[in-house]
Amino acid sequence: MTAQAAFDPLRLFRELNEAGVRFVVINLTALVNVLQRLNARLRGTDRPVPFRLDARRLAKGRSFTFATDAGDLDLLARPGTDGFEDLVRSAEANDLDGLTVLVTSIDDLIRMKRACGRPKDLIELEVLGALRDELDQAAADERRR
């Protein structure tokens, strides 16, 4: 088993951005190229599992969990959404060290976690719900000022 790389989202986002990958609707061929450059391998197994990483396989899958040289990456196909146009409406552009990345809204993230229904997602729903409440309260406080 290889050592797990520290999560480096900026590297991952830069690689995706430079390859022309859109972060919500995926250009699968470009995504495969990035994943190959980052030595992506299936995560969650004690031993390496034979897996051919190609666009056709990604298109057929519902979800994949990878370990990469830039850290762990989960790919989910339309969990609880209608795809890119649905998510981009409420996504916010964030500057991450000079790189602009669209980040899904907390409400959409909650919707996706609920649709996935994995135990880890259901646990995270409580945290996300509390965060949304805090953000709503902060926005209400700001409007009252």
Tell me the per-residue pLDDT of 91-100, one tens digit each, with 9 for 90 and over: 988 898 888 8
95 and 114 housed in the same domain: no
21, 46, 65, 89, 122 from 33: Cα distances, Å: 10, 25, 16, 28, 32
- For residues 73 and 89, membership in a common domain is answered with yes
Q: What whole-number distance in Å separates Cα of residue 69 and Cα of residue 40?
A: 7
Burial class (CB in 10 A: 0-12, 13-18, 19+), 38: buried
State the helix-helix crossing angle for 9-18 and 28-37, rounded to 10 degrees: 130
The tens place of each residue's pLDDT in the chain, 145 residues long, gives 567 777 676 788 888 888 887 665 337 777 888 999 999 999 888 787 788 888 878 877 878 889 999 999 988 776 788 877 888 899 988 898 888 888 889 999 899 888 888 888 889 899 999 999 999 999 899 899 8
For residue 31, give every residue at least 6 positions away whose Cβ sits within 8 Å of its Cβ, in sequence order, or none: 16, 19, 21, 55, 58, 75
- Claim to verify: residue 123 and residue 100 sit in the same structural domain: no
Asked if 126 and 75 sit in the same domain, the reply is no
Counting every residue, how long is the chain?
145
Residues 115 and 94 reside in one and the same domain: no
> In this structure, are 77 and 139 located in the same domain?
no
Specify whether 29 is located in the same domain as 98. yes
Query: Do 90 and 24 share a domain, yes or no?
Result: yes
Radius of gyration of the chain (CA): 17
Does residue 127 share a domain with residue 84? Answer: no
The count of domains in the chain is: 2
Domain span at 125: 105-145
Tell me if the pTM is above 0.95: no
Beta bridge partners of 66: 42, 73
Over residues 122-141, the pLDDT tens digits come to: 898 999 999 999 999 998 99
* Residue 63 near residue 74, CB atoms below 8 Å: yes
Clarify whether residues 22 and 73 are in a common domain.
Answer: yes
